[in-house]
Structure 1
């Protein structure tokens, strides 16, 4: 018996030794060296042309959404980013030498963008979309660096991340990268013209549109075999930007460019939720880059059902009133003044309700979130506006209103609406 015990102990020690060795080997694999600090560069170190180009790229990349807290200083960080694995906070990317990136050299900045590794060698969470930024050219990375390093420094330490243990242990991210991260430079597609290729470079890269509009796996990875097939962000559904687009009117390059620059399309709807910030930033982009992005995505959606045939708009008002009288009453009191045919807002050029893509998606989430959170003008005070009803309507009332609208204007069936409203209210980010 003693002999068996000793043998079992040796096996256990061997297993422990193997585990320790594997852990040490993983730490060696995960290690990235720090890059030496530098003195913060002055504005004179960069050309005004590079700074201006970096400003355009920062707008196209919608950098303020993650790096500027509500009511906070530009690029000073602190924005909470909810993930299934915990809450991250956008970092301070002003040139503050202590709490920001003021002491980062350009190689350190480029490594963070292309490899997801901070100056001190720590791995960055993939909520920072370095899987998209890895395709940026040296010239564009230089422009971004020039722009950020010439912002006003803000001394502000963002709140600490709150991740599910052990995900706060950053070396584990090296394992995630081994599984999912495939950095690649952009290559031109000879089958398309220069404008389309420019749009692809920007859309797939700095704009990282797939970060919202592509589905993700259980470990938070974008499903690269289903690009632009629809995804989720902050409790909103980001609809497909491919041949499965549920839009009831075709997305042409002209229509899409107008939407991206103004947050409004008379043939579709107004930008709501996270898309509002995108339109706000793209409205400030000069030159042909927004047109290029619109050209690329319009082409991806060129084989969607509405691009082949635009169907008549559904309006089953009588049936909807009979099926959902409570929802019909809520609509008459809260919505009809703006949304009924002939209402001043519609006459002024706002899209009629059934044009909204949210009426034709497989999920009611966007319609629910629009009712709960409303719509703020993404571009200018005269842009589209709708008040939020989260504090006015109960879950049951919102479900009744959505059921009425779906029956009247929708082209898909939704179930368990009250549960969907409760879930949307919990997940939404006002």
Structure 2
């Protein structure tokens, strides 16, 4: 994996052609594999339990559900018939093989910065894989977003194509980290807030965003809202393992990024990403007064099982019954022993210190899967019936979330109720009524505006033609 430094750094990209006389070389394919891992292609283009890169995964967006395409070298259902130029145009310009505009769920806004050599190395790797004949389901887009030519307007507002250029006055490590984080890893896509048109608000770069209901937290070097109190070693530890004891555990989309991509990168590249993050402008989020990891205290009552006045378990009672065996009765976690991995503590966990408990609620619903390391712990999903027992309903999840927030995190944060849990379930599936309503309304306004403008242009054209008639 150390070869990654020689293939990802923009100033050190090899100038060898993508294909030699006998096809791509093993070195080029290996380089492409590493680049594809850093870009986390497998996360979007693979359905769990199905062949890698065969497509079909549903990606929820405010505009509808997009199904990632097959990118194996099958000539009919995949990309096996694509030329180098067509592959470059897709990643650099967001245009498909047939000339169709691609939805920006495919992060060509960031991939446009990749060098030609790196893009073609990724193509060489993908073409070395076994072809899989599998057609992805059709997209399910809200009207009128299924009409792809409208994406030209979105691109005009939000997309500037162009290759990566090193930032003057910055060292090689910073610029390598910038290439890894912005072009390949596309960190901005999740950790930067969106504008009204769903483009990236670069005035708040890396100050935090929302991805399928999950909060992608502020990762600027602000000491309160961001990671300004984290050391370089802290950042590397978190990126490589998804855990930083006493501060954070990666779940949801970030957990997938660690599991599929970051944990495979060499330490030098993770350190370069950390150097890039440390060099960003510190941005404070409104209302933040203390670091998210600065809240909470252990629960001193290690014995009682709490029941409410109606005889049903309270939030603490549910925690004792469902959570304490791993996270500890006092919330400090449990140490690893031979044959059993340890489990993280909840005191100081950044998800519980946030003003909103969205990530904590979604972690209870969906769990936190293991990253793939040997003997690694995981959190089961409590939002659906499984081998651990019956599912917790929305009201019970709210009780648990409120207890762990009040005891181990930010007690002053917004309370959780069954309605907010239900809302998060919908947002995580891409069908939040609020989001759908807002964007449907905007789509209607935009459509009427386009029709009005078109009619006005036609009338003027007819008037000018009449004036020129003899």
Q: Which bin holds the TM-score, normalised by the shorter protein?
A: 0.7 to 0.9
The answer for the alignment partner of 1:25 in structure 2 is: none
Over 3 Å counting, the alpha-carbon distance change for 1:312 and 1:207 in structure 2 is closer
Secondary structure at 1:88 match in 2: strand
Instruction: Verify the 8 A CA contact 1:86 1:164 in the aligned structure 2.
Output: yes
Over 3 Å counting, the alpha-carbon distance change for 1:350 and 1:266 in structure 2 is farther
Over 3 Å counting, the alpha-carbon distance change for 1:213 and 1:328 in structure 2 is same
Distance in 1, Cα, partners of 2:50 & 2:293: 45
Alignment partner of 1:335 is 2:338 = no
Over 3 Å counting, the alpha-carbon distance change for 1:309 and 1:380 in structure 2 is closer
Long gaps (5+) in structure 2: 1-18, 337-341, 385-390, 431-470
2:262 to 282, 286, 293: 282
Secondary structure at 2:256 match in 1: helix
Secondary structure at 1:87 match in 2: strand
TM value normalised by structure 2:
0.75
Deviant stretches of 4+, over 6 Å: 301-306, 308-311, 321-325, 341-344
Q: CA deviation at 1:62?
A: 1.0
1:293 to 257, 263, 273: 273
The answer for the alignment partner of 1:83 in structure 2 is: 61
The answer for the alignment partner of 2:414 in structure 1 is: 414
What is the root-mean-square deviation in Å for CA atoms of aligned residues?
Answer: 3.0
Q: CA deviation at 1:114?
A: 0.7
1:195 to 151, 173, 176: 173
Distance in 2, Cα, partners of 1:144 & 1:399: 44
Alignment partner of 1:355 is 2:343 = no
TM-superposition CA deviations, 1:349-375 (whole Å, max 9, x none): 644212321012222100001111111
Distance in 1, Cα, partners of 2:392 & 2:274: 37
Question: What number of residue pairs does the alignment pair up?
Answer: 388
Taking the TM superposition and a 5 Å limit, the aligned residue runs for 1:65-214 are 65-214=43-192
Q: CA deviation at 1:196?
A: 1.5
Instruction: Verify the 8 A CA contact 1:241 1:300 in the aligned structure 2.
Output: no
Q: CA deviation at 1:122?
A: 0.8
Distance in 2, Cα, partners of 1:97 & 1:310: 49
Distance in 2, Cα, partners of 1:156 & 1:382: 34
TM-superposition CA deviations, 1:200-233 (whole Å, max 9, x none): 1111111111111111123321222221121111
TM value normalised by structure 1:
0.82
Instruction: Verify the 8 A CA contact 1:111 1:117 in the aligned structure 2.
Output: yes
Q: CA deviation at 1:303?
A: 7.9
Long gaps (5+) in structure 1: 1-40
Over 3 Å counting, the alpha-carbon distance change for 1:174 and 1:81 in structure 2 is same
The answer for the alignment partner of 2:234 in structure 1 is: 255
Q: CA deviation at 1:347?
A: 2.5
The answer for the alignment partner of 1:314 in structure 2 is: 296
Instruction: Verify the 8 A CA contact 1:228 1:240 in the aligned structure 2.
Output: yes
The farther-off stretch of 341-350 and 139-148 is 341-350
